[in-house]
Each structure stands twice: as C-alpha cells, then as structure tokens.
Structure 1
Amino acid sequence: MSDLTPELLLQGYAVGIFPMAEHRDDPEIFWVDPEHRGILPLDGFHISRSLARVMRRSPFTVRINSDFDAVVAACADRAETWINAEITQLYTALHARSKAHSFEIWDGEELVGGVYGVTLGAAFFGESMFSRRSNASKMALAGLVDHLNRAGFQLFDTQFLTAHLASLGAIEISRRAYHTRLAQATSQHASFTSVEVLPLHEVVQRMTQTS
C-alpha cells in the first residue's frame, strides 16, 4: 500500500475503515474494518470523583495542535505499536491539511499526555493516546470530549473498546450501527479549532454540572 495518500486515507475513514501496521518496522499497511466498533458517546463520559478531584487540583495546562508531531511520536514510543514511518508521515500530512489534530496535556513546557485523531465532518476518529504522568491520558480524554461537544462534533470513534476506555464511558456497537452514526456525523460540519481550550478545572465543572 505504498501509494496510500492522505486523500485515500480520508476516503477510508468516510466508509468506516482505518489503516494499521503490524509494528513500527513493518512497511506494510492494511485496512481495518472491525465487526464491533468502539465509540465514546459525547454525552456519556464517566468522570469519577477521584479523577474530578485530581483535575481540579492539577497544575497541568491544555493545548491543541501546539506540537502534533511530538504527540504522534509519543504515541509510537512504546514496545508494541502499529504506528510505522509511513503512518506517521500520512498523519503529519493530514495535520498540515487541518484534518488531523492533537489534544495535549502539558506540565510547564513538558508534554506529558495527549490524544491525536482525524476529523471529517462532525466525526472525530481517535487514533492513539499516551501518558507520561498519572491520569494524564484520562485528563486528555475528558478535556477532548468537552472540546468536541463545544465544537459541535457528533461522533467520537475510538476504533476498539479497551478496559481503560470502557471505564471512562466508551461502549461497543455493531458495524451496521456504526456506519449509521458515521453517515450522520460526516454529513454535518464541525471545526476542531472553532472553540478555545478550557482549563482542566473548568472542564470538571462543566462535566459535573451536566452529569
């Protein structure tokens, strides 16, 4: 799949498939179309009392798109990863086209957690996340869900359901149900950069008021 382009990548997302490699050193990329799809309902994020308490007191700050390349590199910096060199280049190209974005957690000037993903219409396709501090990835997801809500997104695709995501409110739906939601979301418009990021303590306040 050496002729895979950013444009073909977006076409894949539009029909419900996404690319992966077996590992970072494998040059081959294949399309994935799960029978059961993980999504994080934008009105169903579960913020525990302990996480809320940590976020209220956290010194961390939130940024978007301030170092997209570093977020992708951090997500790939693990023993096993599906992010190879070509995938890195493709998502960097999508970011340059404002079709891929990063939601970042910072401790001063140190990047300590984050998520990156692709946007198409009012759908956000979460690709990967990382954490270098306790709870940093949970904070990133909480902030991202609130950000997507305020920006008018309708679908947060997590691809697969993990125990970590399930503890935060993610669910699994059938391929058919996913395609229905995908068609609805991609027919609408939302802009990731249309709203400002909020401090973590404000995210907690908003989420606890509406939960």
Structure 2
Amino acid sequence: MEFAEGTDRIIQGYAQGYFLMADEMGVIGWYSSRQRALIPLDERFHYPKSLRRILNQKRFLVEINRDFLGVCRGCAERETTWISPQLIKIYYNLYQQGWAYSFETWQGNELAGGILGIAIRGVFIGESMFYRIPDASKVAMVELVKYLKKKDFVLFDAQLQNPHLERFGAYKVSDKKYKSLLKKALAKTCIFGDIGQPLIF
C-alpha cells in the first residue's frame, strides 16, 4: 500500500489493517504481517508473578499524554529503530487530533517508561514501548490492559510478536482473522482518555 500523508488517509490505512514503519533510510511505508500479534483483553492475559509485588507497591504513577513526545523519543532511542523523526511528527499530528496516545509510567518527575499507540473506535494499536527504569513498561502494559477493559475496547493490536509480549499472553492470528476482528472492533465506539489527566485505579 502506497504511503500518503494526511490524517484521514493514515487512519484509513490503520483501519484497513496496515501499520507505518520507517526503513533504514528513514523512508516511511505501510506494512502488514501474515500473522498479527494480539494482547488478550480477557482471562488469557497474564504477567509474571514477580510483577505483582511491584504493582502492589504502587511504585509508578500512570498517566495519559503527560509527555507524548517524550514517549515517542523514548521508543525511538535504540540502536535499530523504525521510528524516524518524520514518523514522530506524524504521531504528534495524530496526537493533536485525538488519535494517538501515550500511556506512561512516572516516578516523581521522571518519565520511567510508556507505550505509544493509536486508538480507533474499539481497537487500540500499540506502536511501540520503552522503559528507562526497570519494570516501568511492564507496569504500563498491565495497567493499559486494565484501562482498555474499563473503556470497553475489544481489540489490543500489538502488531508483531516477540518474547516480551508472549509473557503477557500475546498470541498470533492470521491476517484474515485479524481483519475480521478489526472490522468488529471498528464497529464499536470507545473513548480512550483525556489529555494530561492522571488515571486513578
């Protein structure tokens, strides 16, 4: 699928089952996968027992969009990254128009970690995640799943499977199955959250 800028076209691309990535030269394009990774929003979701103690201690404050650009940059800060400066600009534009969100963990005034994603009706599409303090992104994942369930989202798309996501019960479905689930999710209206509003659990 040919990439073209413009919020409507970008949202349409995601709604058709594609996602954006930049190649090694920084050129942005649309991609799809024969198998899509999903984070379960039911009893199949699980996490390491060692994380329960950290959650119970409430080491992190969870917020939405307190530092959206900080999360974008944090996700891009790695040796090999598909998040180019141009793609950050695209995410920021989507954020300004209410499509993109950062689900963040904080310790005091320090951004500890977070998850970057796009919310379209009943689907949350996780673009990337990062951490600067151990366990910060894991806590973000657990609390994000709780939040999505609270908001009645029906699909949490993680795009590509990896060992880290498998620890939370992530599973793969075929592209055909994914598009069927996506169609159902897009038929439901959900509101993700308010800018800069701390979450209370």
Same fold (TM over 0.5): yes
| Larger helix fraction of residues | 1
| Unmatched 5+ stretches in structure 2 | none
Say whether the 8 Å CA contact 1:42–1:145 is kept in structure 2: yes
1:96-149 deviation digits (Å, cap 9, x = unpaired): 011001100001000011001001111000000001111111100001000111
1:80–1:60: structure 2 CA closer, same or farther, 3 Å change rule? same
Say whether the 8 Å CA contact 2:62–2:198 is kept in structure 1: no
Structure 2 partner of 1:155 = 155
Is 1:75 aligned with 2:72? no
Is 1:34 aligned with 2:30? no
TM-score by length of 2: 0.93
Query: Which shifted more, 47-56 or 179-188?
Result: 47-56
- After superposing on structure 2, the runs of 4+ consecutive aligned residues of structure 1 that deviate more than 6 Å are none
Say whether the 8 Å CA contact 2:63–2:198 is kept in structure 1: no
1:3 is displaced (CA, Å) by: 4.2
2:182 and 2:12 map into 1 onto residues whose CA distance is: 13
1:34 and 1:102 map into 2 onto residues whose CA distance is: 24
Amino acid at match of 1:56: N
2:110 and 2:38 map into 1 onto residues whose CA distance is: 29
1:2 is displaced (CA, Å) by: 7.5
Share of identical aligned residues, percent? 37
| Structure 2 counterpart SS, 1:8 | helix
1:80 is displaced (CA, Å) by: 0.8
| Unmatched 5+ stretches in structure 1 | 200-211
**RMSD of equivalent CA atoms:** 1.6
Structure 1 partner of 2:178 = 178
2:27 and 2:7 map into 1 onto residues whose CA distance is: 16
Is 1:198 aligned with 2:197? no
